[in-house]
Amino acid sequence: MTMKYLAMNELGLADQEGSCWGRMGRKRTSYDDTVGYKSKNLHAERRRREKLSNRLLTLRALVPIITNMNKGTIIEDAITYIQELKKNVEALTDMLQEMEASSSEEEFKTRVNEIDASEEMKLCGIKEDVQVTNIEGDKLWIKIILEKKRGGFARLMEKMACFGLELIDSNVTTSKGAMLVTACVEGAFGDTLTVQQTKELLTQIIKGI
């Protein structure tokens, strides 16, 4: 055995022989690391497919109409649904912009009319005024001149009711940017109204309208 090894060593075949034969003349088997690599790839691919499948199931649950259960159809139906939602959003956005523009224009016109009414009162020498006269028992006659504003009369009635003033008879006219209100009033809760107190109260009310 020694002579054979020396002869092979001289020929440069000892390393090759040693790599192929182990102890007791058994042939060594080298480990193939590609097997483990392929196994890892299979697990990664399986996880990727499971994740994709779960996401498709989630997408299918979000889309109300699915024509078919295969992957391609689910994606196509989702795209169609998203496009419809986009169109609805654009339509609602346009509608909202139109409403805002219309509201702004209406507010602008109202504001212009109020400015015109105020200027017209000044040009005509008309000023806001409150007159109160006792006519019978607890009844008072009032005369109010104030600037004509949109909803002004309704706010005046609302505030007078809050302060316990009940209108028995009233008349409203508008002219030259002003609104004239005449009426008979009495205490809504049986209270006795004085002329001075009622005048001060009405003056305060019209300033807040």
pLDDT tops 70 at residue 6: no
Report how many domains make up the chain.
2
Both 161 and 193 in one domain: the answer is yes
How buried is residue 113: exposed, middle or buried, by Cβ count under 10 Å (0-12/13-18/19+)?
Answer: middle
Summarize pLDDT for 142-201 with one digit per residue, the tens.
999 998 888 888 888 899 888 888 888 889 988 888 889 999 998 877 778 889 989 999
Tell me whether residue 58 is in a domain: yes
Tell me whether residue 4 is in a domain: no
**DSSP, residue by residue, 145-170:** EEE--TTHHHHHHHHHHHTTEEEEEE
pTM beyond 0.75, yes or no: no
Summarize pLDDT for 102-149 with one digit per residue, the tens.
666 666 555 555 557 677 777 788 889 999 999 877 889 999 999 888
Find out whether 145 and 177 touch, Cβ atoms under 8 Å. Answer: no
The closest alpha carbon to 79, from 62, 55, 91, 57, belongs to 62
Both 94 and 128 in one domain: the answer is no
Both 127 and 202 in one domain: the answer is yes
The closest alpha carbon to 177, from 107, 128, 106, belongs to 128
N-terminal to C-terminal alpha carbon distance within the chain: 124
Summarize pLDDT for 50-74 with one digit per residue, the tens.
888 888 888 888 888 878 778 888 8
Both 141 and 172 in one domain: the answer is yes
Choosing from 72, 107, 142, the residue where a domain stops is 107
> What's the helix, strand, coil split of the chain in %, to 5?
60, 20, 20
Q: How many CB atoms are closer than 10 A to CB 131?
A: 13
Tell me whether residue 7 is in a domain: no
Tell me whether residue 13 is in a domain: no
Both 160 and 78 in one domain: the answer is no
Both 91 and 124 in one domain: the answer is no
Question: In CATH, what number is assigned to the domain containing residue 176?
Answer: 3.30.70.260
Q: How remote is the C-alpha of 74 from its chain's centroid? A: 30
Q: Residue 177 sits in which domain range?
A: 117-208
